């Protein structure tokens, strides 16, 4: 028996004994079921996580614990508890964990999404300032998005009449907006490097959950073969970082126009020249660009995918969306951000899509930098924390008994104005809420208003829309489906 094999067997025995004889001490939130040795509760999370979390909330209350391998995961449910933790006790619940998988891939623990403490605060502030310089929430950025939407609509026009899967086209288009902000340029949809980045991005989200178990049972990475797709995951990330490095280098001479990379480098150099104690670095820039690509592309393109799917199931809603656009905009010009205040029903339908699809049901994992007391329980330092956004967005006590029905009218008040309840938490809450929320809202409005002005979307088989089913990874992505696109003009 070699040394490595002996170490693994010893670790298994120790973990087996520990988990089999250990019980929840009573200080942790309750377990819904007793954990198994070594794997803890991982065995019950292999499928149907969302319905199990709902059941466990009913059983345990708004807070419960899971033992995932060597890690404690605490699940927060309900609007009040999530606000208490992520807003009122934000300093105790806003850090990000350093995961085994991230460490193995070579991704820097930097930027905005993965960092904590001072690094996170400085980079969130710098990122917001740069985005504001680009016109975040103003016409400048909206004009960039509008330009890309026009390319997208033209590309979609080439698919009229035949069954089409719009997912790849949508992902590339939304990703192009990120390219415009990051690098000051857009790419043709046939550009091979751009296609490769987009495919790598999709692979990242698809394989992320497959190797997540290694974060909780680290010795599994030593098993022969590539059972958890970790090798492929590492290769894809390294290739994506290589391609992004090329684009970053092209921005160094400052000839790419306004872009985040150049602005970041200039700000970093200025702070260092002035002797400021800064966390800004080349590694942070690399991670920042990587995160913007991921967080800025997938959620928006997936929401568009869900919106079209819901319209296939609710042609009456699709007709109301078009009728409103036709009344307030017509078909002679493209809808723009000045039209948003008049397209109440469309905005409500977008919000209902975000609520019902709940594409990020558990948000991103947080961790505690110290032992924390909440609701009479003690959560240990280093525990993983996940806020269940499902428990808010799909709560019948908040939205009514028809909570699982697609009904945009729930976001329209008696005077016909758009209603935004505080429990609408699709973009998260607290210090770690979505950095690009304003940009995402602009994108969703401009894409969908232009799409449904120009086209009607029909099932490929009349009266038989694709199922409302999904794959759950980092986000809940609809199963691939095709749609028949019909011109309205």
Which residue ranges are tagged as binding site for heme?
434
Distances (CA, A) of 211 to 102, 105, 297, 481: 11, 12, 22, 26
Residues of the binding site = 434
Instruction: Please give the backbone phi and psi of residue 418, each rounded to the nearest 5 degrees, phi first.
Output: -65, 135
Produce one character per residue of 397-406: b if its CB has 16 or more CB atoms within 10 Å, e if not.
ebbeeebeeb
Burial of 304 (0-12, 13-18, 19+ CB in 10 A): buried
Cβ distance 223 to 247 under 8 Å?
no
Cβ distance 453 to 321 under 8 Å?
no
Task: Give the Cα separation of 228 and 221 in Å (integer).
Answer: 8
Instruction: Please give the backbone phi and psi of residue 177, each rounded to the nearest 5 degrees, phi first.
Output: -65, -40
SS (H, E, C) the chain: CCHHHHHHHHHHHHHHHHHHHCCCCCCCCCCCCCCECCCECHHHCCCCHHHHHHHHHHHHCCEEEEEECCEEEEEECCHHHHHHHHHHCHHHHCECCCCHHHHHHCCCCCCCCCCCHHHHHHHHHHHHHHHHHCCCCCHHHHHHHHHHHHHHHHHHHCCCCCEECCHHHHHHHHHHHHHHHHHCCCCCCCCHHHHHHHHHHHHHHHHHCCCHHHHCCHHHHHCCCCCCCHHHHHHHHHHHHHHHHHHHHHCCCCCCCCCHHHHHHHHHHHHHHCCCCCCCCHHHHHHHHHHHHHHHHHHHHHHHHHHHHHHHHCHHHHHHHHHHHHHHCCCCCCCCHHHHHHCHHHHHHHHHHHHHHCCCCCCCCEECCCCEEECCEEECCCCEEEECCHHHHCCHHHHCCCCCCCCHHHHECCCCCECCCCCCCCCCCCCCCCCCHHHHHHHHHHHHHHHHHHEEEEECCCCCCCCCCEEECCCEEECCCCEEEEECC
Task: Give the Cα separation of 74 and 28 in Å (integer).
Answer: 9
């Amino acid at each position: 028996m070699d040394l490595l094999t002996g170490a693994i067997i010893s670790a298994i025995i120790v973990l087996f004994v520990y988990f089999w004889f250990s019980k929840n001490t009573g200080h942790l939130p309750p377990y819904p079921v007793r954990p198994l040795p070594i794997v803890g509760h991982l065995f019950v999370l292999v499928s149907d996580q969302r319905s199990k979390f709902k059941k466990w909330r009913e059983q345990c209350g708004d807070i419960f614990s899971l033992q995932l391998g060597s890690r404690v995961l605490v699940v927060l449910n309900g609007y009040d508890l999530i606000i208490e933790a992520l807003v009122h006790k934000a300093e105790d619940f806003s850090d990000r964990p350093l995961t085994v998988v991230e460490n193995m891939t070579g991704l820097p623990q930097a930027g905005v999404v993965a960092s904590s403490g001072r690094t996170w605060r400085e980079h969130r502030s710098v990122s917001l300032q740069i985005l504001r310089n680009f016109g975040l929430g103003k016409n400048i950025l909206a004009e960039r998005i509008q330009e890309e939407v026009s390319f997208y609509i033209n590309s979609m026009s080439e698919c009229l009449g035949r069954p089409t899967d719009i997912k790849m086209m949508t992902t590339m288009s939304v990703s192009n907006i990120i390219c415009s902000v990051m690098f000051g340029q857009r790419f043709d949809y046939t550009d091979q490097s751009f296609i490769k980045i987009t495919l790598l991005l999709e692979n990242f989200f698809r394989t992320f959950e497959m190797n997540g178990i290694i974060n909780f049972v680290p010795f599994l990475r030593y098993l022969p073969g590539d059972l958890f797709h970790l090798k492929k995951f590492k290769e894809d990330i390294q290739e994506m970082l290589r391609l992004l490095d090329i684009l970053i280098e092209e921005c160094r001479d400052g000839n790419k126009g306004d872009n985040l990379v150049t602005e970041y480098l200039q700000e970093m150099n200025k702070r260092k020249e002035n002797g400021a104690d800064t966390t800004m670095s080349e590694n942070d820039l690399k991670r920042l660009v990587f995160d913007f690509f991921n967080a800025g592309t997938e959620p928006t393109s997936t929401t568009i995918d869900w919106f079209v799917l819901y319209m296939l199931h609710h042609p009456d809603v699709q007709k109301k969306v078009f009728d409103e656009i036709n009344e307030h905009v017509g078909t002679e010009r493209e809808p723009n951000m000045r039209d948003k205040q008049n397209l109440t029903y469309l905005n409500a339908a977008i919000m209902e899509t975000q609520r019902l699809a709940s594409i990020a049901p558990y948000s991103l994992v947080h961790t505690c930098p110290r032992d924390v007391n909440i609701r009479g329980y003690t959560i240990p330092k280093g525990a993983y924390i996940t806020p269940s956004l499902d428990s808010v967005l799909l709560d019948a006590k908040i939205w009514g008994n028809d909570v699982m029905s697609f009904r945009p009218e729930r976001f329209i008040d008696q005077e016909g104005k758009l209603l935004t309840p505080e429990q609408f938490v699709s973009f998260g809450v607290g210090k770690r809420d979505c950095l690009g929320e304003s940009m995402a809202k602009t994108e969703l409005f401009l894409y969908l208003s232009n799409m449904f002005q120009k086209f009607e979307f029909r099932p490929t088989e009349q009266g038989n829309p694709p199922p409302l089913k999904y794959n759950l990874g980092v986000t809940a992505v609809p199963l691939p489906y095709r749609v028949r696109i019909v011109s309205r003009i």
